[in-house]
């Protein structure tokens, strides 16, 4: 004698739904991690680029390098 009829719980298809939900949330978490890494690395790179240019400007302002050397290094950075 069967206690639960087969049409309850969609006949076992609820397992398929659980697996799809699990895959969905794993993909969402992976996507968020990748987005955060992309944004974090992008902002770090920009800060390093700006700081190198700032150092170059300060060296030029102090007279440590000539105008030609400043322009050449600035082109390399940009």
Per-residue pLDDT reduced to its tens digit, 49-78: 667 888 899 999 999 999 999 999 999 888
Cα separation, 72 vs 65, in Å, equals 11
Is the pLDDT at 6 greater than 60? The verdict is: no
Predicted local confidence at residue 12, as pLDDT: 64
Cα separation, 47 vs 51, in Å, equals 6
Predicted local confidence at residue 40, as pLDDT: 83
Summary mean pLDDT of the chain? 82
Span 19-41, average pLDDT: 94
Predicted local confidence at residue 46, as pLDDT: 60
Which residue is associated with the tokens 């390098």?
A: 65
Contact 19, 47 (CB under 8 A): no
């Amino acid at each position: 004698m069967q206690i639960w009829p087969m049409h309850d719980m969609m006949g076992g298809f609820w397992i398929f739904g659980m697996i799809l939900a699990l895959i969905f949330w794993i993909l969402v978490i992976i996507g968020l991690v990748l987005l955060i890494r992309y944004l974090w690395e992008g902002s770090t790179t920009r800060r390093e680029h700006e700081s190198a240019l700032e150092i170059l400007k300060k060296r030029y302002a102090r007279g440590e390098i000539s105008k030609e050397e400043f322009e050449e290094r600035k082109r390399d950075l940009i």
